[in-house]
Amino acid sequence: MTRAVRDPRSTFSPARKVRGLLRRVPVWSWRLLMAGVSSRERARFNTDPRTDVDYVHDIPYADDGAAGHRLDVLTPRNTVLHGDRALPVYVYFHGGGWTSGDKSAVTKYCANQASGGMVVVNVNYRRPPRFHMCHVLHDANAAVAWVRSNIGRYGGDPECVVLGGDSAGGQIAALLTAATLRPELAAHYSLRPAVAGHHLRGLVQHCSVVDFSVFFKSGFIMSLNFVRMLLPPAGPARSRIRNPFTTPESIERLKTQAGFMSPIEWLDERFPPVFVTTSERDFLYEANVNFISRLTFHGVPVDTLIYQWSNANTEHTWQQDYRYPESQEVYLRLHDFVRKVTQRPADHASHETRASGLSWDDGSPGPAAVGGQP
């Protein structure tokens, strides 16, 4: 049974604050750590490139020449196998705690998805702390606008789009989905959604930062400065949390601002079907379980793949490492998920779904029954 992990109540005693600060990872140390990890990830995750996929790299989706405004398109080479019908489009945003990472680290991951019969768009975006969440969300929306206007040339269907991402990239995908469906959230970011909501057919989440309330838990690995970093420089909440020893009142103000970046706060029945993968070893496990519970509450179709602690390979964002059998299971389930949520009515009658937990409207097990080791 899937359920949230209980955490101790936070207090504002000086001793608890100091212990919490020592346990948390500040932004600068995270960036330093990720700078060394990124190059190793690119080498480790991208060995043995797939030869059954065509690659087009570094396509600009904005006209400023910035590296943060480029994307890759990956297509299955033998498109004859898929007939004359345009392929579904999977738009993917890499992780890295918002401050780090690059699309190049997930090239092999994206190729593995393209080989399953979809056009994959692998997106870079401008990163904090120089930029904030409004910039990131506008970049993601601009990438989807590029897809709407151009993906047909690569054999993709601009009306069958699935968004996805890992860690911070998952938050970007989920928040853009919410902003596309919730005018009040789009207005907060002065965003004009690039596509109609019904063209977003699904959402994929790998160990994602989908519930910002975990940042406010005592002892959570990432500090509140991550939340502050994502706010505009002149934002009232950001200016009031310069000192880590903040008051309960300033924390509440920060929570209000964080709510606009927390996808779970914007869930309702309009969300498309969601595929969530996480594990008990993931430090964002609680956030993902909370997200699943909220999706279920709103009646949103959700498929889950949740590994137990005994699966040693399943640390945070293990899905990028294709060598793990657990990652291969994710890919198979993801292919089935995309196939199901993007099929046309005529296809539905002739296609037999292989994945368990995907026939949400026919009495099959819901998300709470899918957790654990497959």
Which of 214-228, 281-295, 337-351 is the least confident region?
337-351
Name the residue among 326, 276, 324, 270 with its Cα closest to residue 299: 270
- What residue has token string 């975006």? 125
For residue 25, the one-letter residue type is V
Q: Is residue 374 part of a domain?
A: no
pLDDT tens for residues 254-309?
999 999 999 999 999 999 999 999 999 999 999 999 999 999 999 999 999 999 99
Give percent of the chain with pLDDT exceeding 70: 73
* C-alpha–C-alpha distance, residues 13 and 196, integer Å: 48
User: Residue 357: its pLDDT value, please?
Assistant: 43
Confidence of residue 363 (pLDDT cuts 50, 70, 90): very low
Threshold 0.85, pTM exceeds: no
DSSP 273-287: PEEEEEETTSTTHHH
347 versus 312: the higher-pLDDT residue is 312
279 versus 8: the higher-pLDDT residue is 279
- Average of per-residue pLDDT across 312-322: 91
User: Residue 219: its pLDDT value, please?
Assistant: 57
**Segment holding 33, helix H or strand E:** helix 27-45
41 dihedral zone (left: phi>0; alpha: psi -120 to 50; beta): alpha
At residue 5, the 3 state secondary structure works out as coil
CATH assignment of the domain containing 264? 3.40.50.1820
- What residue has token string 């497959």? 374
Q: Is residue 2 part of a domain?
A: no
Q: Is residue 8 part of a domain?
A: no
Q: How far is CA 368 from CA 181, 232, 254, 288, 365, in A?
A: 25, 38, 32, 13, 8
- Average of per-residue pLDDT across 348-374: 39
User: Residue 9: its pLDDT value, please?
Assistant: 37
From the CB of residue 62, how many other CB atoms can be counted at a distance below 10 Å?
Answer: 16
**Segment holding 264, helix H or strand E:** none
Whether pLDDT at 367 is above 50:
no
Partners of 156 in beta bridges: 87
User: Residue 11: its pLDDT value, please?
Assistant: 40
From the CB of residue 299, how many other CB atoms can be counted at a distance below 10 Å?
Answer: 11
> How much is the mean pLDDT over the chain?
82
- Average of per-residue pLDDT across 99-127: 96
Q: How far is CA 254 from CA 161, 246, 317, in A?
A: 33, 10, 27
Side-chain half-sphere CA neighbours of 40 within 13 A: 5
Give percent of the chain with pLDDT exceeding 90: 63
Q: State the total domains in the chain.
A: 1
Which of 24-33, 91-100, 195-204, 321-330 is the least confident region?
24-33
* C-alpha–C-alpha distance, residues 260 and 177, integer Å: 13
Q: Is residue 328 part of a domain?
A: yes
- Average of per-residue pLDDT across 105-119: 96
From the CB of residue 206, how many other CB atoms can be counted at a distance below 10 Å?
Answer: 30
Q: Is residue 45 part of a domain?
A: yes
Q: 281 is written with which tokens? A: 């070893």
Contact in structure between 188 and 260 (CB atoms under 8 Å): yes
User: Residue 152: its pLDDT value, please?
Assistant: 96
Which of 69-83, 180-194, 275-289 is the least confident region?
69-83
User: Residue 366: its pLDDT value, please?
Assistant: 37
Confidence of residue 370 (pLDDT cuts 50, 70, 90): very low
**Segment holding 58, helix H or strand E:** strand 53-60
125 versus 47: the higher-pLDDT residue is 125
Which of 13-17, 312-316, 344-348 is the least confident region?
13-17
Whether pLDDT at 96 is above 60:
yes
Q: Is residue 30 part of a domain?
A: yes
216 versus 263: the higher-pLDDT residue is 263
Which of 16-25, 39-48, 94-103, 128-137 is the least confident region?
16-25
Which of 43-57, 155-169, 231-245, 289-303 is the least confident region?
231-245
Q: Is residue 58 part of a domain?
A: yes
- Average of per-residue pLDDT across 331-348: 86
Q: Is residue 232 part of a domain?
A: yes
Name the residue among 25, 28, 275 with its Cα closest to residue 128: 28
In which domain, by residue range, is 186 found?
14-369
* C-alpha–C-alpha distance, residues 137 and 113, integer Å: 24
Whether pLDDT at 37 is above 70:
no
Confidence of residue 48 (pLDDT cuts 50, 70, 90): confident
User: Residue 228: its pLDDT value, please?
Assistant: 87
Contact in structure between 195 and 162 (CB atoms under 8 Å): no
